[in-house]
Structure 1
Amino acid sequence: MGVFRYLTQFFRKYKWYYFFGIFWLLVVNVVQMMVPRLLGNITDSLAQGMLDARGLLMYALMILGIGLIMGFGRALWRIFITGSARRLEYYLRTKLFAHLQKMSPNYFNRMKTGDLMAHATNDINAVRMAFGGGIIMATDAIVLTLLAGGLMVAQVGWQLTLIAIIPLPILAVSASSFGRIIHSRFKNVQAAFSTMTESVQENLEGARVVKAFVQEDEEIKRFEEAAQKHVDTNVHLVKVWGMLEPLVQVLATASVILIVMFGGRAVINGSISIGDFVAFNSYLVMLIWPMMAIGWVINVLQRGRASMDRLNAILDEQPDIYDGDNAKDVDVQGNIEIKDLSFEYEDGHKALKNINLNIKKGKTVAIIGRTGSGKTTLVNLLLRLANPPRGTIYVDGVDINDIKLKNLRESIGYVPQDNFLFSTDISNNIAFALEKTNTIEVEEAAKFAHIYDNIIEFPEKFDTMVGERGVTLSGGQKQRISIARAIIKDPEILILDDSLSAVDTQTEEEILKQLEDIMNNKTSIIISHRVSTVKDADEIVVMDQGEIVERGNHDELVKQGGLYANLNHKQQLEEKLGSA
């Protein structure tokens, strides 16, 4: 398939825009070819003393009319071609963004944010330039060359025209060679830009860590290295571009010299009139312009092609997680059954081993265990952020792989560990899953999450901007807003993944008490490393190294004297020491 295969749909829709744009571009090119002939006629008439004031006025009006047509035509081709190029930029950027939305979480573990940002900015801009200015200049170069060359032959004959275009074959061969080099080097430029962008993005996100560890100088040095590489790759490209443009100019100048020499002699010999020579030189100037533009055209088109290659690499990627042919919508009630579930990641790490769970609607199951015991992996499989083996996880008796992703995820209220908040106000963060923000629902959800009192203390209340990733809020406030965001969905399944770790035990108890009424009617899964969070669950599952090692309620597990009892004892001691 062609390098621009993902643009086929766009060109089907906007082909007539390009057609009319090129049509008016051709009209302008044809009309402007009349000017040299008029100048030639004026020159001959003046030389022969045959031009009076009336004739001069007529020629002036004709040139003015040509200028008006050219101005009108140029306005139209800019609207059609340049406007379409901007639409192409929008189309490609939204297509790329929509494609990234479909990709699985694992894809973003492999790809750098800075690299993706470079694709969405520089690469798309390069493609726009190729299908805007590139098409305009390429059309000009081809049409003006043919028209000017043809009129030159008609004006003074093929011999003098042939002399004028001697440099063109040299230019064509040189341009082809330079084009391949430009294509390769521009890819390196874009890769260097991606690295530099990633360095900036990562440093700004980790600004507090950088300052806390006094690594400002080291980070400046790292950025300088990335920036220098970007400069070096650009200079490497400019060296080629810097040689191509002077070469074009030298060959164009050579044409002028040849015409002055041979054309001047023809005028002296009387083979052609001085008017013909003026017209011929005007056509030659028009021919020199596309000759000089060839270098720019090749540069822009090759940059566009190189950038489209890079974009294709992303658009060709297929998501790991998608709706299968048998996927269907299910009226999710919240009954979850896990049978002999084992799971390992691509690197061979075995995260889960022989997990068996049966969670009935309205029941609360807590999962507790050390870091790395597989708790979050289990949740990711329930959300299908990773694909579980077929026949291992069922929701209401239906294999989770046969439930449509949108249907499944809309039925689950999920509070993740990282509590990501968007750079908007508190109200919109809570109402993130709603089509339209409902003030009453937002406030009720905030009360259930025990964050309402904190919010109304802010000067802007629910309109308070939280900053990038919720930077203006404390960890506990971010967690409770995340809980409110999950509650407002009114999901059939509620999953809290270590989402109370940043609040004190008293606040934790108050939040859980507030959530009791909601959790009584929903299937709830609470993941934590704190016993105080899970002790009131209907069933507590203790995991270690990817396996369920203990299960039961709080009292039963304490009596068993195993891992849970040991963890409970340690945390009780910590609380006593903390209150002493």
Structure 2
Amino acid sequence: MRHYAFLKGFLKKNLWRYALGVVFLILVDACEVIVPRILGPITDGLASGTMDYKGLMRYVWLLIAVGAFAMVNRFLWRWFVNRTSRKADYHMRKMLFDKFMSLSERYYTQNKTGDLMAHATNDIRAVRESLGSGTVLTFDSLFLTISTTIMLFISVPTKLALLGLIPFPMIAVAVFFFGKVINKRFKEVQESFSELTDNAQESFSGIRVIKGFAQEELETDNFMKSAKKNFDKNVALMRVDAVFDPMINMFATLAFVIAIWKGGAMVASGEITLGSFVMFYSYLGSLVWPMIGMGWVINIIQRGMASAARLNKIFTEVPDIKDAPDAVGHFEFRGAIRIEDLTFSYEPDGTRPVIKHLSADVKAGQVLAIVGRLGSGKSSLASVLTRLYNPPDGTVFIDGVDINKIPVSTLRKQIGCVPQESFLFSTTIRDNIAFSDHDLSDAEVERYAKIAHIHDDIAEFPAKFETMVGERGVTLSGGQKQRVAIARALIHRPRIVILDDCLSAVDTQTEESILKALGEELKGHTSIIISHRISTIKHADEIIVLDSGDVIERGRHDELVELGGTYADMYSRQLLEEELAAL
């Protein structure tokens, strides 16, 4: 049960519901055990001619009463057990999503989307079934097996009862053996399903690239390889099931053969009455279901345990981005940034650093620009400043406080970051802009849309701000998505704004208009502008040039141009590109 540790609180709170459901279930089973004891005297009375109509009707009404009692209790156990298992399903989904939200970006780079989707669907369903159907079948099988066996020995001679029970240990052995195989095969099915969903999700996300390069056939082939693997794993599991169920039925049939052969002979010899034979045959039939149920229990519990182990691994995952035990309380967030000899790596062991010995001192309200070629480490600085990844202690300070000691929510509420890839949710433009505060007025949303120079584009859409952007903002152009993302970052009025190459998809004229509007809006706010475009950052208070994580140049625009180094070379090339584009 250690795999179900993440449900300890839920089970403790709802154990009484399961217990009550099991009580009602046992009452239903008791009714099933009583029925053969009623049928036996009826059979003997009718066979001997000693039962009149009045006596028969007494038994009929007794059977009706037992049936009605069983019906009420069957409803009650289903209400308590099934409803509670559905509550567990809801509880697990909430727990899992909360856990996903608490995990850092590093976790998502190390795990496939398909695996995460499988956890949220198949694994939760398997655990829920183990808590619902598994609980019912366990107690149902145990009680029926014990009570029916006792009634069997009470109703017929011990020798006949023992003969009838011969096939049932074989069923138990088969269940034990096949359970282990089924558990192994089910794990393989889950893993192949994760791979399949990951493949599908990646294809859907990259559908434009696939179509743009006319690679539909190749991607279909890749998907079908994953589908074939999943198919083969499912067939392997079903092959075991296909052997398991008929084997159980064969042993059950053997029990009935013994009942007819030996029980019939004892009726013929007068050793037992016909009524006793009916009870014997009925009880053997009643024993078949619990034995088959045990097989199902093994399947359900084994699958549930396999899925619970996978879920438990997530729930025990320790987020590497969390508030420090000695985190500071409330403090005045002005936006001054000091970086002291920062060396940062995405690797846990610190190898392959992407930023090396970076230092900077940005006063509140100043503009720091980071420029460099692709892969120079520019965007990594944005990840550090927003604590998507933790920098080494004592290397990054905001208003004199180590960034690792600032509560994550406090830090991120005061930083507005526009990343390179402008992700939009599949909802309205308004909801995307007002993502940080859905209670904002329409006037405020429109104001920031104007600052980001996206308002005029939105005004041309038939539904205006209520336009659905589609999944990942597919209905908007790259430049429009970037400008919506800028409005979203500014609308909660952060003290620090990070623009991570977020104007790469807009033309030069629009870029100038946006930068001018941002300059007016962000007066007194600290700005970090990351770009490979010199035109975007030439008015910054300080410019740092990175190359493979190293600081190779720093200064103001005029100073760096005069220096004649990498920055000047980049600037000259971009001027030439602009002149050629104007021809």
Q: TM-score, normalised by structure 2?
A: 0.97
1:340 match: 341
**Pairwise mapping of residues 107-126 of structure 1 onto structure 2 (< 5 A)?**
107-126=107-126
Contact 2:431 2:438 in 1 (8 A): no
2:541 corresponding residue in structure 1: 538
Structure 1 counterpart of 2:220, one-letter code: I
Q: What code does the residue aligned with 1:418 have?
A: E
Aligned pair partner of 2:368 in 365, 368, 371: 365
Greater CA drift, 302-311 or 386-395:
302-311
Q: Structure 1 residue 518: deviation in Å?
A: 2.2
Amino acid aligned to 2:46: L
Cα distance in 2 between the residues matched to 1:344 and 1:287: 64
Cα distance in 2, alignment partners of residues 344 and 253 from structure 1? 67
Residue 75 of structure 1 aligns with an amino acid whose one-letter code is: F
Higher mean displacement: 212-221 or 323-332: 323-332
Aligned equivalent of 1:479, options 466, 482, 491: 482
Greater mean deviation of Cα atoms: 177-186 or 327-336: 327-336
Q: Is 1:133 aligned to residue 136 of structure 2? A: no
Cα offsets for 1:371-424 (capped at 9, x unmatched)? 111111111111111111111111111111111111111110010000000011
CA, structure 1 residues 435+15, in 2 after alignment: closer, same or farther (shift >3 Å)? farther
Amino acid at match of 1:426: I
Using a 3 Å threshold, how does the CA distance of structure 1 residues 87 and 437 change in structure 2: closer, same or farther?
Answer: farther
The answer to whether the Cα contact below 8 Å between 2:497 and 2:527 also exists between their aligned partners in 1 is: yes
Could you tell me whether the CA contact under 8 Å between 2:369 and 2:537 is conserved in 1? yes
- Indicate the residue corresponding to 1:434 in structure 2: 437
**CA-CA distance at 1:159 after TM superposition:** 2.0
Instruction: State how far apart, in whole Å, the 2-side matches of 1:415 and 1:42 are.
Output: 82
2:266 maps to 1:266: yes
AA aligned opposite 1:102: S
Whole-angstrom CA distance in 1 between matches of 2:489 and 2:63: 71
CA distance in 2, matches of 1:304, 1:80: 20
Taking the TM superposition and a 5 Å limit, the aligned residue runs for 1:335-414 are 335-346=336-347, 348-414=351-417
Separation in 2 of the partners of 1:345 and 1:458? 42
Q: How does 1:1-20 map to 2 (within 5 A)?
A: 2-20=2-20
Q: Distance in 2 between matches of 1:131 and 1:12?
A: 13
**How far apart, CA to CA, are the structure 2 residues paired with 1:158 and 1:113?**
60
Question: How many pairs are equivalent?
Answer: 580
Q: Match for 1:340: what amino acid?
A: D
Amino acid at match of 2:241: W
Give the structure 2 partner of residue 151 of structure 1.
151
Aligned sequence identity (%): 48
Of stretches 241-250 and 323-332 in structure 1, the one that deviates more from structure 2 is 323-332
Shift of 1:158: 2.4
Letter in structure 2 aligned against 1:227: A
Mapped partners of 1:269, 1:546: distance in 2: 97
The equivalent residue for 2:560 is 557
Per-residue deviation, residues 464-490 of structure 1 (Å, max 9, x unmatched): 000110010001100000000000111
User: SS state of the match for residue 51, structure 1?
Assistant: coil
Q: Give the drift of 1:577.
A: 0.9
CA contact (8 A) 2:172 2:291 kept: no
Aligned to 1:493: 496
For 2:247 and 2:269, the matched residues in 1 are separated by 33
* Unmatched tracts of structure 2, length 5 or more: none
Q: Which moved more, 1:463-472 or 1:556-565?
A: 556-565
Q: In 2, are the aligned partners of 1:252 and 1:292 still within 8 Å (CA)? A: no
Aligned mate of 1:516, from 495, 514, 519: 519
CA distance in 2, matches of 1:529, 1:224: 40
Secondary structure of 1:350's partner?
coil
Tell which deviates more after alignment, 410-419 or 273-282.
273-282
Q: Name whichever of 479-488 and 149-158 sits farther off.
A: 149-158
Equivalent residue for 2:456, pick from 446, 453, 458? 453
Rounded Cα–Cα distance in structure 2 between residues aligned with 1:108 and 1:467 = 23
Give how far 1:187 is off.
Answer: 0.3
Counterpart residue number, 1:228: 228
Partner of 2:332: 331
- Per mean C-alpha deviation after superposition, the further-off stretch among 450-459 and 287-296 is 287-296
2:152–2:161 Cα contact (<8 Å) kept: yes
State the secondary structure of the residue aligned to 1:3.
helix
Q: 1:300 aligns to what?
A: 300
* Aligned equivalents of 1:207, 1:352: Cα separation in 2: 34
1:548 maps to which residue?
Answer: 551
Q: TM-score when scaled to structure 1?
A: 0.97
Instruction: Please name the residue that 2:251 is paired with.
Output: 251
In structure 1, how many angstroms separate the alpha carbons of the residues matched to 2:438 and 2:30?
54
Rounded to whole Å, the distance in 1 between the matches of 2:11 and 2:182 is: 26
Q: Which runs of 4+ in 1 moved over 6 A?
A: none
1:175-254 correspondence runs (5 A):
175-254=175-254
Structure 2 distance, partners of 1:546, 1:373, is 5
| Larger deviation, residues 269-278 vs 417-426 | 269-278
Indicate the residue corresponding to 1:63 in structure 2: 63
Once the two structures are TM-superposed, the CA of residue 293 in structure 1 deviates from its matched residue by: 2.3
Structure 1 residue 435, shift from structure 2 partner: 5.0
CA distance in 2, matches of 1:40, 1:437: 76
Secondary structure of the structure 2 residue equivalent to 1:4: helix
8 A contact 1:495–1:526 mirrored in 2: yes
| 1:90 corresponds to 2:97 | no
CA contact (8 A) 1:431 1:438 kept: no
